[in-house]
C-alpha cells in the first residue's frame, strides 16, 4: 500500500516533490516525502551507477559540455536522487540526476550531494520517467516511449500524464503516434535528419519512408511536409479508387439503366450502402428526355 501511495504522490511532481525546495548539501534538508528518505548527504561518485530504468539513451554533446563547465565552476547545486543498489548495499543506483553525475566525473569532483530514498523497482522506473519528462530532457521517441510505459505499466491515462508534465492531452497522443512509424523513419528522427513535426506529418501516410527521404532531400519545413503528405494521401486514394474492381452487380445495374434511357450511367456504392447515381448527357434535349422518362 505504501508503494502505491508513493507512486500516486510521485506522478506529476517528480524530483521536486521528493527533494522539496531546500538547498541540499552535507547534512542538508530531509526530503519531505515519507518512505524512509534520509538527509541530503554527499557520496563518492565511484560508489554510484546509472539505473537500468533510465529512459534516456541520448545525451546532447553541446548541452552536456555546458553542464560540465557549470559543475566545474559552481559544483552540483541540486542533489541527485539515489537508492541503495539492490545487489550491493555498499553502492547506490541513480534514480534521477545521471547527467549531473556524469558531469561531476568530467569535472573531476570526488563527491556529489544526494538524497537517498527507499524505492521499489516500480517506483524507480516511474520517478525516472516522470522526472525526465518534466525536464524535457528526452528525445521525441524517448518521450513517446516514456508515455507508453507509464500508460501500459502503471495504468495512467493520457489526461493524467498531460497534467503531470504540463502538456496538452493532444501533445501526449501525437507523441505516442510516433512509435507507429517504421524503424527507418524513427532512425531518421533520432539522428535529427527530420524533426518531430516532420515525423508527425507522416504517421497517417501509406509511404512514410519515401516521404521522409523526400522531406530530408528537399529540406522541407513542417508545413511543407504536411502538404506533401496530404497530397500523397489524396493521390493514393484516387489511384486506389481507379484501380478497385467494380462489383459485378453494380456493373450490371449500370448497363441496364443505360439501355433503358439511352445514356451513360455511373453508379458509385459505398460499403455503408449509400452511394450516388450519375447520368451523363451531351445536350439539353437529352436532359429533357431523361426528365420526361422519369416523370412517366
Q: Which residues pair with 39 in a beta bridge?
A: 30
- Helices and strands counted in the chain (H then E): 14, 7
Residue 186: what pLDDT? 95
Average pLDDT, the chain: 80
**200: its cell numbers:** 508527425
Of residues 213, 210, 203, 205, the one with CA closest to residue 235: 205
Residue 91 reports pLDDT greater than 90: yes
SS3 89: strand
Residue 6 reports pLDDT greater than 90: no
Q: Are 60 and 139 in contact (CB under 8 A)?
A: no
Active site residue 98: yes
Q: Cα(63)–Cα(77) distance, rounded to whole angstroms?
A: 17
Catalytic residue among 33, 93, 98, 145: 98
The domains located in the chain, with CATH, are 2-135 (3.90.1530.30), 181-242 (no CATH), 248-295 (no CATH)
How far CA 247 is from CA of 199, 242, 268, 273, in Å, comes to: 38, 13, 10, 13
Is the pLDDT higher at 9 or at 169?
Answer: 169
27-78 pLDDT tens trace: 333 333 334 444 468 999 999 999 887 777 777 777 889 989 999 999 998 8
- Winning range, highest mean pLDDT, from 24-28, 66-70, 241-245: 66-70
Q: Which residues have CB under 8 Å from 80's CB, separation 6+?
A: 48, 94, 95, 96, 97, 100, 101, 112, 113, 114, 115
Mean pLDDT of 82-92: 91
105-157 pLDDT tens trace: 999 999 999 999 988 888 888 888 787 787 767 889 988 998 998 888 888 88
Can you give the pTM of this predicted structure?
0.58
Of 96-110, 202-216, 271-285, the least confident: 271-285
Residue 237: what pLDDT? 64
Of 65-79, 161-175, 230-244, the least confident: 230-244
**122: its cell numbers:** 516500480
Q: Are 55 and 129 in contact (CB under 8 A)?
A: yes
Mean pLDDT of 237-252: 68
Residue 206: what pLDDT? 86
Burial class of residue 74 in the structure, from the number of CB atoms within 10 Å of its CB (0-12 exposed, 13-18 middle, 19+ buried): exposed
Is the pLDDT higher at 271 or at 235?
Answer: 235
Sequential DSSP letters for 121-170: HHHHHHHHHHHHHHHT-S-HHHHHHHHHHHHHHH---HHHHHHHHT--HH
170-219 pLDDT tens trace: 999 999 999 999 999 999 999 899 999 999 999 888 899 999 999 999 99
Q: Which sign, positive or negative, has the C-alpha torsion 60, 64, 67, 69?
A: negative
Is the pLDDT higher at 238 or at 3?
Answer: 238
Amino acid at each position: 500500500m505504501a508503494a502505491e501511495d508513493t507512486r500516486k504522490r510521485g506522478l506529476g511532481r517528480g524530483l521536486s516533490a521528493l527533494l522539496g525546495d531546500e538547498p541540499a548539501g552535507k547534512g542538508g534538508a530531509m526530503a519531505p516525502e515519507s518512505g524512509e528518505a534520509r538527509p541530503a548527504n554527499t557520496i563518492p561518485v565511484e560508489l554510484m551507477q546509472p539505473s537500468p530504468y533510465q529512459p534516456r539513451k541520448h545525451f546532447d554533446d553541446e548541452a552536456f559540455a555546458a553542464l560540465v563547465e557549470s559543475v566545474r565552476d559552481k559544483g552540483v547545486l541540486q542533489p541527485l536522487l539515489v537508492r541503495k543498489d539492490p545487489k550491493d548495499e555498499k553502492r547506490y543506483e541513480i534514480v534521477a540526476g545521471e547527467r549531473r553525475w556524469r558531469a561531476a566525473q568530467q569535472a573531476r569532483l570526488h563527491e556529489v550531494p544526494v538524497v537517498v530514498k527507499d524505492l521499489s523497482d516500480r517506483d524507480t522506473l516511474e520517478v525516472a520517467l516522470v522526472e525526465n519528462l518534466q525536464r524535457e530532457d528526452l528525445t521525441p521517441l524517448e518521450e513517446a516511449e516514456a508515455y507508453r510505459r507509464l500508460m501500459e505499466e502503471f495504468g495512467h491515462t493520457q489526461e493524467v500524464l498531460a497534467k503531470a508534465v504540463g502538456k496538452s492531452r493532444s501533445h501526449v497522443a501525437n507523441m505516442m503516434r510516433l512509435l507507429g512509424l517504421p524503424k527507418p523513419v524513427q532512425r531518421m528522427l533520432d539522428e535529427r535528419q527530420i524533426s518531430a513535426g516532420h515525423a508527425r506529418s507522416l504517421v497517417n501516410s501509406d509511404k512514410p519512408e519515401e516521404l521522409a527521404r523526400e522531406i530530408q532531400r528537399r529540406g522541407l519545413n513542417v508545413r511543407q511536409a504536411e502538404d506533401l503528405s496530404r497530397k500523397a494521401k489524396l493521390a493514393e486514394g484516387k489511384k486506389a479508387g481507379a484501380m478497385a474492381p467494380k462489383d459485378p452487380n453494380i456493373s450490371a445495374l449500370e448497363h441496364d439503366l443505360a439501355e433503358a434511357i439511352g445514356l451513360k450511367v455511373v453508379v458509385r456504392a459505398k460499403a455503408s450502402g449509400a452511394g450516388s447515381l450519375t447520368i451523363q448527357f451531351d445536350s439539353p434535349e437529352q436532359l429533357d428526355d431523361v426528365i420526361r422518362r422519369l416523370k412517366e
